[in-house]
Amino acid sequence: MKKLTILGSTGSVGTQALDVVSHLGNVRVIGLSTNSNIRLLEQQIRRFRPQIAAASDEKAAAALKVAVADTNTKIVSGEGGLCEAASFGDAGAVLTSVVGSVGLLPTCAAIEAGRDILLANKETLVTAGSLVIRLAREKNVKIIPIDSEHSAIFQCVQGGGDIRRVILTASGGALFGKTRAELDGVTVEKALAHPNWRMGQKITIDSATLMNKGLEVIEAHHLFGVPYDDIEVVVHRESIVHSMVEFADNSVLAQMGVPDMKLPIHYAVCYPERIPSATPRLEFSALSRLTFAKPDTDTFRLMPMAIEAGKSGGSMPTVLNAANEAAVAKFLSGKITFLQIEGMIENALAHHKKIENPSLEEIIALDRGIKEALA
């Protein structure tokens, strides 16, 4: 019986992870968490009977405590509560599907406690990749990615062999093919209309700006130890090929599947085994065609900006990520236009004096400072 804690269990990946757990039937849920969606968390507590549940929002936690007083689940709150849930009990793995750099401290707490990390929270690796990877190595903890692209790469390298190049596929997002002028008037609704994937709001906006692909390049760099110049992004509108690895001999392995987050979640939960999933099969005879093209980095400038921040290293990716989280939140609440997201991030990077090897404390302070300044 596998034992699993899910942080961010009321979000898009979190709810799908619980669907996977239900399908598998042999996974015990140790802990759950939400930011403030206690109505859904209560249902999850009653269904999965975790030992601990956290609500980041203090008021929500207090209300939840009352609501589930008849259960055996311990309710904790705030950032400390999230970290307690991350390291609680005897979970073998912690699935981190919280959104944003708020995942950093609980991820570190889980690693410190020796839990494998099923990582659906890319911002943690973007903001503090070097530190997190080093800590995971020290603690002999596996990081199994859930992002479909990184799950694909992870699956492709299971057979061993030196990596020459990683080819990340990009759907192009909701605004593929648009000009700069057209981007100017993009509404929240339009930016949220992703053609292939159903995901949370923040990542869907990141997909529309192509920032998501830039963040994924940084994530891939840390997860697989591949230099930035050996990571290529290719637009693949159909989202069937989830990413590829070119090996030293120029042979390429690709992982494919229907565009359904439950597949990489299922893979990560079952790893290293492959167990029948609820995800539909790919029908090749019905595929007809798969297309590949260069991304339009003249129109979508956040992807190259993110990669530059990654290459620059030090505290630059922390600034990039914090400014992006702040800007996306502002766009979603209607306070800035779509193209102003780009401007805010560019400005934050331009005015930052890089710290070469930031500590965890410096990263957290920097992340908070930028978010407050841009809020």
Q: Return residues touching a second copy (CB under 8 A).
A: 155-162, 165, 167, 232, 234, 241, 244, 246-258, 263, 266-267, 270, 272-277, 279-282, 284-285, 287-294
In the bound complex, what is the minimum distance in angstroms from residue 173's beta carbon to a second copy?
Answer: 18
Kindly state the helix (H) or strand (E) to which residue 55 belongs, with its residue range: strand 52-55
Contact between residue 165 and residue 250 where contact means Cβ atoms under 8 Å apart: no
Task: Kindly tell me which of 267 and 300 has the beta carbon lying closer to a second copy.
Answer: 267
CB of 240 to a second copy, least distance (A): 9
Contacts of residue 239, defined as CB under 8 A and 6 or more positions apart, other chains included, come to 148, 169, 171, 195, 196, 197, 259
Nearest CB to a second copy, comparing residues 56 and 255? 255
Work out how close the CB of 23 gets to a second copy at its nearest, in angstroms, rounded to a whole number.
11
- Give CA–CA dist 254/182, Å, rounded: 34
Q: Least distance (Å) from a second copy to the CB of residue 267?
A: 6
3-state helix/strand/coil string of 197-225: CCCCHHHHHHHHHCHHHHHHHHHHHHHHC
Query: Of 114 and 280, which CB lies nearer to a second copy in the complex structure?
Result: 280
| 208-239 b/e (C-beta count within 10 Å ≥ 16 → b) | bbbbbbbbbbbbbbbbbebeeeebebbbbbbb
How many other CB atoms are found less than 10 A from the CB of residue 29? 25
Task: Choose between 216 and 246: whose C-beta lies nearer to a second copy.
Answer: 246
293 Cβ contact list (under 8 Å, min separation 6): 234, 235, 236
Residue among 249 and 361 whose Cβ is closer to a second copy: 249
- How many Å separate Cα 369 from the centre of its chain? 22
Residue number with CB closer to a second copy (193 or 252): 252
CB 147, min distance to a second copy, A: 14
**Helices 211-224 + 148-156 axis angle, to 10:** 30
| Distance of alpha carbon 173 from the chain centroid | 16
Residue placing its CB nearer to a second copy in the complex, 183 or 269: 269
Q: C-beta of 357: minimal distance to a second copy in Å?
A: 33
Sign of the C-alpha dihedral computed for residues 360, 222, 234 and 100 taken in this order: negative
**Alpha-carbon span 342 to 301, nearest angstrom:** 7
Alpha carbon distances (Å) from 23 to 51, 87, 257, 275: 21, 25, 18, 11
How many CA atoms are closer than 13 Å to the CA of 104, on its beta-carbon side? 25
Measured from the CB atom, is 103 or 257 closer to a second copy? Answer: 257
Least distance in Å: CB of 18 to a second copy?
18
Q: How far is the CB of 138 from a second copy (least distance, A)?
A: 26
